[in-house]
Amino acid sequence: MTSKTLSSNEIESLATRLDDAQAGVHDTLSLADDIELGIDDAYRVQEALIGRRRERGETLVGVKLGFTSKAKMAQMGVSDVIVGRLTDAMTVDDGGTVDLHRFIHPKIEPEVAYRLSRDVDLDDATVDIESCVDAVAPAMEIIDSRYRDFRFTYTDVVADNTSAAAYVIGPWQPVRSVGDLAVRLEAGGQTVDGSTAAILDDPVNALHALLDMSRRRRIPLRAGDVVLAGAATAAIPLTAGVARCDIDGLGSVTVEGI
């Protein structure tokens, strides 16, 4: 599908709609109900949305990937991963608490996080993204689609910063091969089991997918940035109480919803 190019005013008004939903903690309907949004325009809306957050004093601290699980790609009928941005306001400490009133209908998912040790030169065709990573950790992402009932199209979710809402990172350790490790997520009385191999067969592949997307979308990758490689299992609702993710050999991470 070709991307229809919207005017700057139209992009800004879609960003306002999503920003108001997030800041006012209320949902909104799929943008696709009102407008034909192409993928390029969807990333423009995301950029405008992040611009609003930066104007409010938030700083960019990393990136997150979505649809890195084949099941989720198939569900959405797409073959591309999606990228969203993380800001400092989304960071929650391991073992800390998170106020659920911040969210519309939060869900939590188990992830693998990487940390960039140096800036990635997106214009250097020979750059080795794996050599730009120095640490890996178990992590969880809280997603909170601004769309009613998490009902969205592929371009809707890109515009909505890929449902990013908050994240928590467990203890960092020197980067190592992750491959296929058992994952368990417990939250709100539910337990889901899975494997890190659900993330593009090996979460390291998320780094390569990220480099490709960052080049196409001109998303800077900087030293110190956190990279969330994508969910290893389906997301489950985040309710009051402790949510915990254990990844065999990588460690654990917890957060308490209050």
The type of residue at 97 is T
CB of 9 to ligand OOG, least distance (A): 27
Distance CA 24, CA 251 (A): 35
Which residues have a Cβ under 8 Å from the Cβ of 127 and sit 6 or more positions away? 120, 121, 211
Residue 66 or 257 having the CB closest to ligand OOG = 66
Residue 68 or 250 having the CB closest to ligand OOG = 68
CB of 30 to ligand OOG, least distance (A): 13
Residue 41 or 233 having the CB closest to ligand OOG = 233
Nearest CA among 2, 68, 87 for reference residue 41? 2
What is the CB neighbour count within 10 angstroms for residue 22? 21
CB of 165 to ligand OOG, least distance (A): 9
CB of 170 to ligand OOG, least distance (A): 17
**Contact (Cβ atoms closer than 8 angstroms) between residue 181 and residue 248:** yes
Residue ranges that bind ligand OOG, judged by CB under 6 A: 66-67, 72, 109, 141, 143, 145, 150, 157, 162-163, 230-231
Residue 12 or 136 having the CB closest to ligand OOG = 136
CB of 121 to ligand OOG, least distance (A): 26
Distance CA 134, CA 182 (A): 22
CB of 93 to ligand OOG, least distance (A): 21
Residue 17 or 72 having the CB closest to ligand OOG = 72
Distance CA 164, CA 160 (A): 8
Residue 12 or 109 having the CB closest to ligand OOG = 109
